[in-house]
Chains A and B, each alone.
Chain A
Amino acid sequence: MQRRHFLKNTMATGAVALAATSGLLVPVQVLAWNKAAFDAKDVQSAMKGSIGTELTEASDKINIKAPDIAENGAVVPVTISSTLAGVTSITILSEKNGTPLIGKFNLKGAAEAFVATRIKMGKTSNVIAICESGGKFYSARKEVKVTIGGCGG
């Protein structure tokens, strides 16, 4: 009886171990996508996850072009440009979205500090733009009023 138990147990743990290894293999493939940061529910952890810090320096050299009032939160055009030298990444967050992190644009080589896209916003909140320049992070924010939310529905 004891031996049977032993066998059964080893097989069970074996299966668990197998599941664990196969489970481990999957994240390796999708590691490129920063799940923790994109799933983060508040701005601090989203920032920490995406840029590794939650401390940024407010800068007036970052220009956020977004409407003051967005009628449709599902499509909010946002343009971010900066006069900072050597910007290597631009991160966009929307403060009151369920998951604040919207996207991170890694700029390389000849790229200029300019990104434009359209984002979804759940409700009226600040859009935060973070520029990385020379290993330092600079941020700017702009409030966008949203009349109809664009998340869920």
Chain B
Amino acid sequence: MAKSSIKVRAKAKNGVVTVKALISHKMETGLRKDKKTGKVIPAHFIEAVDCEHNGTAVMNAEWGVAISKNPYLSFKFAGASGDAVKLTWKDNTGKSDTLETKVK
């Protein structure tokens, strides 16, 4: 993929890594209607986000439709600068994306 749907910034401070991630996704609830056609727009949302720190899982989130459009996610774990952080999301249509970055 040319451009990743994920933006991640991970910073270490006093042995704690704070990860801030933005995912570009429309997070459609399946409740909205198309104003022109009156048809319901089918649900399309991220249902799982996994995060690995140096290859071991530190966080996996189960999401519903009530997470905002273009989701923002932040979490913390014990780690150090230079560690690898890998973020993966998967939506209800089976699409997914992964991004790996280093802790600053």
Contact = CB atoms under 8 A, between A and B. Distances in A.
21 contacts: A32-B48, A33-B62, A75-B69, A77-B72, A97-B66, A98-B31, A99-B65, A102-B64, A106-B59, A108-B56, A108-B57, A108-B58, A109-B58, A111-B59, A111-B75, A112-B76, A116-B73, A117-B67, A120-B29, A121-B66, A152-B32
B43 to A, nearest CB: 11
A103 B63 contact: yes
Contacts of A38: 62, 64-65
Chain B CB within 10 A, most for which of A111, A120, A151: A111
Interface in B27-44: 29, 31-32
B96 interface: no
A45 interface: no
Interface string A82-116: 00000000000010011101111111111110111
Interface residues of A, number: 39
Interface in A128-153: 150-153
Contacts of B69: 74-75
B50 to A, nearest CB: 9
Nearest to A75: B68
A106 B47 CA distance: 13
Contacts of B29: 120, 151-152
Given A115-B75, A118-B71, A152-B31, A109 B53 contact: yes
Interface of B: 16, 29, 31-32, 47-48, 53, 56-69, 71-79, 92
A66 interface: no
A143 to B, nearest CB: 17
Interface string A42-81: 0000000010000000000000000000000011110100
Contacts of B73: 115-117
Contacts of A76: 68
A106 to B, nearest CB: 5
Nearest to A94: B66
B32 A153 contact: yes
A52 to B, nearest CB: 14
A106 B60 CA distance: 5
Nearest to A38: B64
A101 B74 contact: no
A1 B66 CA distance: 57
